[in-house]
Every structure is written in structure tokens, then in C-alpha cells.
Amino acid sequence: MNYTLHQLQIFLEVVKHESVTKAAESMHMTQPALSIQLKNFQNQFDLPLTEVIGRKLHITDFGFSIAELAENVLREAEGIKYRTQAYKGLQSGKLSISSASTGKYVIPFFLSGFIHDHPGIDLKLDVTNKTKVMQSLRSNEIDFAFVSVIPEDTDVEEEPIIENRLYLMSGSPKRDKSAPLIYREEGSATRAAMDQYFGSVKERKRLELTSNEAVKQAVIAGLGQSVLPIIGVRNQLEVGDIHILNVKGLPITTTWRLIWLKNKKLSPIAQALLEHIRETRDQVIEDHFSWYTEFTEK
């Protein structure tokens, strides 16, 4: 079959009016022109769509069944048109981001205004460790990854967001060099930072936990010391549950950033998010992270 959407529209008008003349008037066509299109559409079926009884046009049962399907086709076609318009106008669509665990303290503030301005956009934000984030990025399952360290084995583009500083922290203001060290699991960027700083320290007991929140609670409980990003412990620092230990070689400084595969063609929504972040980054930092920038500059 090789019918056109226009032929479907014509046939539906004929069904509606049960008259070629009235259908032609409704569609602002001449009757001969409409009749030709109706005939071309009819020729694609072995069964009649219409029949003339007593000089009056009637729609056959088969014709009504085709009309029902034609309505569905035109409805879906209209949906395609509006979906395209919606994407161009950023009224709807999907945005997928995978964030390293600690990024949950940062990225929502840079997404909030964008999602508020475009309520039709469905956001999927997956928070996991860096290894899984990079797996999702390499397999092209997401639009962006939110990480603090650029991967060395993957070609990416980046948009820097905000500085990330990691300090040695403890539940006590006094440093105890014999206290256990609390690590994140393998694959975490924070774990890599601790491995880099402490190397293969063997004289201190090591604990390993699988989330930044678990590490933070363990530090508060006095189970040991850990290298943590300051951006995730504001409340604990303010009430004195956690203390920063000033030690040589710290803080470790990186940058939180959005990254995406090099040469990836970003969707209009993804491109619009980048533009939004570039326009609002300084204001978001001032509104939500002024405490952080002031603290790290002390």
C-alpha cells in the first residue's frame, strides 16, 4: 500500500459527511480533484470502502473499519508533529545524567532552574560510583556524566561546574595517627584520592564502606578518619560533628564537571541544559555554595 496522509484525511471527510460534494467543500477542494484522490485510495483495497444506493453514498462496514484505523494513523502523525515542535521548544523530552555519588550534593542545584522552566522534561538522574557512571557514558546510555575527575581512557568534552576539595576529616578535632582509615569501595573517585594520598599504608587499620553517607556517619561515630569532599559535610562541620584535620598535602583539589562523549550529537534538550548552566552557574554558586567558596578560601 502507498496511501498518503492527505488521502486518509479525504476519506475521513467523506465518511463524516457521506458526501463527496460536502467533503470537497470542507477541504476546500474541487469535487473532481477529491474524487480522484478518493479513487486512488479505494484502488489500494480489494473490498469497497463506499457504495452508492439510490444515488446516495454509503460507507461499507469495511470502510468504517478503515476509517477507524485512519483516525488512529492521523492522530499518531499529529503526535509526531507536536512532539517535534515540543522538542524544538523544549516543552517535553528526556534528559539522562549519571552522577558520581558525591555529586548528589551539587548537581541538583544546577538542574533545578532548568527543570522548573521546562516542566515537560523527564529527568533521570542516576547516582552511583564513578566506575558505573563511566560504563553508562561509554555505552552511550546517558546524555551526560557528572564527575570530579576526567577519565583518561575515554575521549570526552567537558563543562566545568564548581571546584571540589577533599580534606582529611575526623569526629575529633585532634588528629590520631593510629586511628583507622575509612575508605570508599573500589571504583569511587574518593577512594582513588585516598589511595593516592595514603598509598599502601599498612600500619593503620582500614575500613571499607560502600557509600559516602556511610563513610560520613562512620566518621561522626568515631570509627576512624577519612578523606571526604567538604561540599557534602556542611551541616556536620557547622555543628561540630566532623572536624577537618590540617595535614600536609591536603586538600586534594579537583573540579566537578559535566562530561559527554566526544563527537556525540547532543539532543536539543541536552544542548539547552549546557547553555542554561553556562548562563546561571555563577548565580547558582553564589546562591547555594557561597559558604563553600568562602570556607575553601580561608
The string of pLDDT tens digits covering residues 31-85 is 999 999 999 999 999 999 999 998 899 999 999 999 999 999 988 887 776 566 5
> Residue 6 carries which side chain, given as an amino acid letter?
H
- Residue 152 in contact with residue 130, Cβ under 8 Å? no
Given a cut of 80, is residue 122 above it in pLDDT?
Answer: yes
- HSE-CB at 42 with a 13 A cutoff on CA atoms is 16
Query: pLDDT tens digits for 226-271?
Result: 999 999 899 999 899 999 999 888 999 999 999 999 999 888 889 8
The structural domains of the chain, with segments of one domain joined by +, span 5-88, 93-162+254-296, 164-253
Query: pLDDT tens digits for 126-154?
Result: 999 889 999 999 999 999 999 998 888 89
- Looking at residue 83, what is its pLDDT? 64
Given a cut of 90, is residue 123 above it in pLDDT?
Answer: yes
| % of the chain with per-residue pLDDT over 90 | 64
CATH code matching the domain that covers 5-88, chosen among 2.60.120.10, 2.40.40.20, 1.10.3720.10, 1.10.10.10? 1.10.10.10
Distance, in Å, from the CA atom of 50 to the CA atom of 42, rounded to the nearest integer, reads 9
- Looking at residue 105, what is its pLDDT? 93
Q: Quickly count: other Cβ atoms within 10 Å of residue 194's Cβ.
A: 23
Q: Are strands 252-261 and 144-147 parallel, antiparallel or unpaired?
A: antiparallel
Q: Does the fold of domain 164-253 match that of domain 5-88?
A: no
Could you tell me which of 234, 227, 218 has the C-alpha nearest to residue 191? Answer: 227
Predicted confidence band at 294 (pLDDT cuts at 50, 70, 90)?
A: low
- Across residues 207-224, what is the average pLDDT? 92
Q: What is the CA radius of gyration of the chain?
A: 31
Given a cut of 60, is residue 298 above it in pLDDT?
Answer: no
CATH topology (fold) of 93-162+254-296: D-Maltodextrin-Binding Protein; domain 2 (3.40.190)
> 297 CB contacts (<8 Å, ≥6 apart)?
none
Could you tell me which of 97, 101, 126, 120 has the C-alpha nearest to residue 110? Answer: 97
Q: Which three cell numbers stand for residue 230?
A: 567538604
Predicted confidence band at 291 (pLDDT cuts at 50, 70, 90)?
A: confident
Predicted confidence band at 215 (pLDDT cuts at 50, 70, 90)?
A: very high
Distance, in Å, from the CA atom of 115 to the CA atom of 112, rounded to the nearest integer, reads 5
Given a cut of 80, is residue 169 above it in pLDDT?
Answer: yes
- Across residues 92-116, what is the average pLDDT? 92
- Looking at residue 259, what is its pLDDT? 97
> Residue 103 carries which side chain, given as an amino acid letter?
G
- Looking at residue 274, what is its pLDDT? 94
- Architecture of the 164-253 domain: 3-Layer(aba) Sandwich (3.40)
